[in-house]
Copies of this chain bind each other. A is one copy, B any other.
Amino acid sequence: MPPPRLRGHNAQGDVNDSVDRRTALSRLSAIAAAAAWPMSFLETSASVSEPSVAPLSSGKRLRKIATEEAFSIPEVAAAVRDVVRQGGKNLDLKLLKLIYDAPPAIAANNQQALGGSRDALATTLLPRLLDLDTTRLAEMDASGVDMHVLSLTMPGVQMFAPDRAVEFARLSNDRLRDAVRRHPTRFAGLASFAPQDARAATKEMERAINSLELNGFLVNSHTDNAYLDEMRFWPILEAAEALGAPLYIHPRAPSDGMAAPFSDYRMEGSIWGYGVEAGTHAVRLMLSGVLDRFPRLRIVLGHMGEAVPFWLWRLDYMAAPGSRAALKNQLKPSEYLRRNFAITTSGLEDPAVLRLCIDKAGVDNVMWAIDYPYQPTAPAVAFLESAPLSDSERELVAHRNAQRIFRIAES
């Protein structure tokens, strides 16, 4: 059952939600004060969250389904902290240390000293990742967000030993199912799996769709520096295709074999390395021929397609089928983009880039996302509500494509 704070939410979208937003905002301020977070970390303000013009010309409320929204569970968080403490050269450890293992005194100092900096923000993320019932819903309400499509946050289970990874994927998928059942109009879920053990992964994938009724899968790019075009992962691609469920390839820091130039200036992360890692992964899938083997596989890319739409002309030109001996693709990259991919807007709230993505991938293949809690909700909503889109485009991006691709019930 939804907790009382949800009563203000109207899933039918037939009333003005501005009062709800204002009420939710004062709740959220109270939560932030209790947690000693500056409100700036939430970046939710009335001025931002109230759209200045109606997002749809009909005046109808716009249903907003956010499609790349992160969560964790305490057991996985503790295990990630263990990975951080073991140390190593993997570049993901830089951010993971701030989130999962910043000494409390330093975290508090950081928050004071660094104000609204990204470093300080990182030390506040864990409680918001773990919460599926209070702060998260308050933040959603404050900005009029209907639904989070949840996924186990980076690095998922992919930095654990195989047995542990299999176990934690199962556990986190069960908890995700529980959260969706508690809040069926507010959450959908993308299941985790352990690529380290492809056989176990395919079993869990089947369970996630057929028993847990989740909406797809999410993998955090490489696993032990290997990419999904490698033959040992083909059973995973085959399972996703057979189950008719999309596979979201979320970034992580560049694999060790390409880490060196990203090891300065925090370039391993969302600044630059994430996009290189995930985009490179997508291009490997295109050029390896696996999309010819699994033609109905649907891959979802965040961050406006990880620059693939930008490079598409050149990809088509340089990687035309048969143009080089080493290329295995039977179609042009642009053909795969429209047939086998979907794109979300996470973390790149640029109307010009959105238009480019719609041009290249097709308006039926672009979905809105926030990247909660790494990105603030209110500006992501403002972007969705104000980007220069037609009504039908805005509805597709805001919810219709997500409903179709992730099989989410219409409100």
State the A residues within 8 Å of B (CB): 117-119, 222, 225, 227, 229, 254-262, 264-267, 269-272, 275-276, 279-281, 283-284, 287-288, 303-304, 307, 309-315, 317-319, 322-328, 347-350, 352-353, 355-356, 359-360
Contacts and interface: CB of A to CB of B under 8 A. Distances in A.
B313 A349 contact: yes
A312 B353 CA distance: 10
A254 B260 CA distance: 11
B257 A261 contact: yes
Contacts of A222: 261
Contact of A271 (B256, B319, B353, B360): B319
Contact of A348 (B118, B304, B313, B324): B313
Interface centre among A117, A222, A310, by most B CB within 10 Å? A310
A255 B263 CA distance: 13
Given A280-B267, A314-B270, A353 B356 contact: yes
Contacts of A260: 225, 255-258
Q: Give the oligomeric copy count.
A: 2
Nearest to A280: B261
Given A119-B325, A269-B318, A287-B265, A313 B353 contact: yes
A269 B271 CA distance: 23
Contact of A257 (B118, B259, B276, B279): B259
B119 A323 contact: yes
Given A117-B323, A276-B276, A276-B280, A348 B262 contact: no
Interface centre among A118, A257, A276, A287, by most B CB within 10 Å? A276
A310 B307 contact: yes
A272 B281 CA distance: 11
Given A348-B313, A349-B313, A359-B352, A324 B258 contact: no
